[in-house]
Amino acid sequence: MSINKTYAVFGLGRYGRAIATELVKNGADVIAVDKHEEIVNELALEIPVCKCADVTDPDVIKQLDIANVDVVIICIANNLESSVMAITLCKEVGVGTIIAKCIDEMHEKIFLRVGADKVLFPERESGKRLARNLLSAGIMDMFELSDQVSMVEIPVKAEWVGKNLIELNLRKKYSVNVVAILDNGRVISTIDPEMVLQSTMKLVVIAETSKLEKLKIK
């Protein structure tokens, strides 16, 4: 996923608005939707495309052209029926990736069964972190160490295979520090800089969050 994809966020409570505003701040195309007009009016200046609508209505999904959105994030977990309907409608129109906020394991099972590709527990993953993960193509997971620094897990790029860390000089080229290598479930924390990288490996690196764009896999 990346900034080149289009996103829709259904439900603009604290969690949904954190996702939507972070995506917009980073230049992504976002359709934000909530059924409460006062919330939509409040966020209109922060989110260019902010609509007041009921996403459980098939006509609304059609009018908003959700079929052409790459990723839909559904943040209306407090209403199980509405969440299920929104997931179902998005699935029916062919949305590529559907992510749904849930409040417990029962909801998780239901959402996955009706078509969600991923579920979110707000207490485990912040809206801001989710947005950054969505925007970071090629980054498999991210953990914010501070407001400026993150630890991320990335796959080994095709052009890195067969080379070692000395040859790649990732610190100079990408401004990152490799702190571990994941290899078939094994965590290598004491790294031999002459180890030849394989396509099955993943690198755990620490970098300034603002420089993560360099790591994107095209």
Q: Is the model's pLDDT at 176 over the cut of 50?
A: yes
Concatenating the DSSP letter of every residue in 130-165 gives HHHHHH-TT--EEEESSSSEEEEEEEPPGGGTT--H
User: CA 164 to CA 188: how far, in whole Å?
Assistant: 14
Q: Which fold has domain 138-215?
A: Alpha-Beta Plaits (3.30.70)
pLDDT-based confidence at residue 135 (cuts at 50, 70, 90)? low
Domains of the chain, by residue range, sit at 6-134, 138-215
What distance, in Å, lies between the first and last C-alpha atoms of the chain?
11
Q: Identify the pLDDT of residue 132.
A: 64
Q: What's the whole-number average pLDDT of the chain?
A: 84
Q: Which residues contact 114 (CB under 8 A, 6 or more apart)?
A: 84, 87, 88, 91
pLDDT digits (tens, 9 = 90+) for 71-108: 999 999 788 889 999 999 999 999 989 999 988 888 88
Class of domain 6-134: alpha beta
- Averaged pLDDT, 166-185: 86
64, 33 Cβ separation under 8 angstroms: yes
pLDDT digits (tens, 9 = 90+) for 8-64: 999 999 989 999 998 998 888 999 999 999 999 999 999 999 999 999 999 999 999
Q: Identify the pLDDT of residue 174.
A: 83
Tokens found for residue 192:
């031999």
- Averaged pLDDT, 200-213: 80
Q: Is the model's pLDDT at 167 over the cut of 80?
A: yes
Letter string b/e over residues 41-55, b meaning 16 or more CB atoms within 10 A of that residue's CB:
eebeeebeebbebeb
Q: Identify the pLDDT of residue 41.
A: 95
190, 168 Cβ separation under 8 angstroms: no
Q: Is the model's pLDDT at 114 over the cut of 90?
A: no
The distance between the two most distant Cα atoms of the chain, rounded to a whole number of Å, is 59
User: CA 40 to CA 37: how far, in whole Å?
Assistant: 5
110: part of which helix (H) or strand (E)? helix 105-114
